[in-house]
Structure 1
Amino acid sequence: MGTAISLDLADDLPVATLHELAEQTFGWLREVDARFSTYREDSELCRFDRGELPLAEASADLRAVLDRCADLWRETDGFFDAYATGRLDPSGYVKGWSAQVASDRLVESGAPNHCLNAGGDVRIRGRSATGEEWRIGVRHPWDPAATCLVLAGTDLAIATSGVYERGHHVVDPRRGVPAQGLRSVTVVGPDLGVADAYATAAVAMGPAGITWLDQLRDYRHAVVTDGAGLLHSRTLPLAPPPPG
Structure 2
Amino acid sequence: MHAADPERRNAGGLRAQRGQPRAPGPAPERASERAIEPLPDLRPDEQLSSLRTRSPSRRELLALGIGAFVVAGLPLAARRGRRLLRRTLPVMGTLAELAVVHDDPQRARAALEAALDELRFVERRMSRFSPDSDVGRANAGAALAPVQLSPETGQVLSCALHMARATAGAFDPCLGRLTQLWDVTRRREPPAAEQLSRFADRHLFRSLELGGGASAPSVRFSDADVAIDLGGIAKGYGVDRAVAALRAHGIRDGLVNVGGDLYVLGRSRDGDLWRVGVRSPGDPTQLSHTLHLGDAAVATSGDYARGFSHAGRRYHHLLDVHAAAPRRAEEHSLTVVAERCMTADAAATAAFGLPAHEARALLASCAPGAMLATPDASRVNPGAPARRSHLSDVTHPHSSESI
Task: Provide the TM-score with structure 2 as the length reference.
Answer: 0.54
Question: Which has the larger displacement, 184-193 or 98-107?
Answer: 98-107
Q: Which runs of 5+ in 2 are unaligned?
A: 1-91, 178-226, 308-315, 381-385, 394-403
Secondary structure in 2 matching 1:91: coil
- 2-structure distance, mates of 1:134, 1:55: 45
The partner residue of 2:372 within 218, 221, 224 is 221
Cα 1:122–1:54 change in 2 (3 A) is farther
Identity %: 32
Cα 1:26–1:237 change in 2 (3 A) is farther
Secondary structure in 2 matching 1:25: helix
Contact 1:141 1:164 in 2 (8 A): yes
Q: Which runs of 5+ in 1 are unaligned?
A: none
Amino acid at match of 2:267: R
Amino acid at match of 2:318: V
- 1-structure distance, mates of 2:149, 2:263: 28
The 5-angstrom pairing of residues 53-68 of structure 1 reads 57-68=148-159
Amino acid at match of 2:276: I
The partner residue of 2:343 within 187, 194, 218 is 194
Cα 1:137–1:152 change in 2 (3 A) is same
The 5-angstrom pairing of residues 46-57 of structure 1 reads 46-51=136-141, 57=148
Q: Which residue of 1 aligns with 2:122?
A: 32
Q: Which residue of 2 aligns with 1:123?
A: 263
The 5-angstrom pairing of residues 31-180 of structure 1 reads 31-51=121-141, 57-86=148-177, 87-167=227-307, 168-180=316-328
Q: Confirm or deny that 1:238 pairs with 2:385.
A: no
Amino acid at match of 1:178: P
Greater helix fraction, Structure 1 or Structure 2:
1
Cα 1:107–1:130 change in 2 (3 A) is same
Output one character per residue of 1:13-34: Cα deviation in whole Å (capped at 9) or x when no partner.
Answer: x211111111111111112112
Contact 1:76 1:198 in 2 (8 A): no
- 1-structure distance, mates of 2:369, 2:300: 16
Secondary structure in 1 matching 2:175: coil
Amino acid at match of 1:193: M
Cα 1:174–1:180 change in 2 (3 A) is same
- 2-structure distance, mates of 1:237, 1:32: 35
Matched residue count: 232
Secondary structure in 2 matching 1:165: coil
- 2-structure distance, mates of 1:18, 1:10: 8
Cα 1:69–1:55 change in 2 (3 A) is farther
Cα 1:236–1:40 change in 2 (3 A) is farther
The partner residue of 2:333 within 180, 184, 191 is 184
The partner residue of 1:11 within 102, 105, 111 is 102
Secondary structure in 2 matching 1:239: helix
Deviation at 1:236, TM superposition (A): 4.6
Task: Provide the TM-score with structure 1 as the length reference.
Answer: 0.88
Deviation at 1:129, TM superposition (A): 1.1
- 1-structure distance, mates of 2:273, 2:167: 32
Q: Which has the higher contact order (CA 8 A, sep 6+)?
A: 2
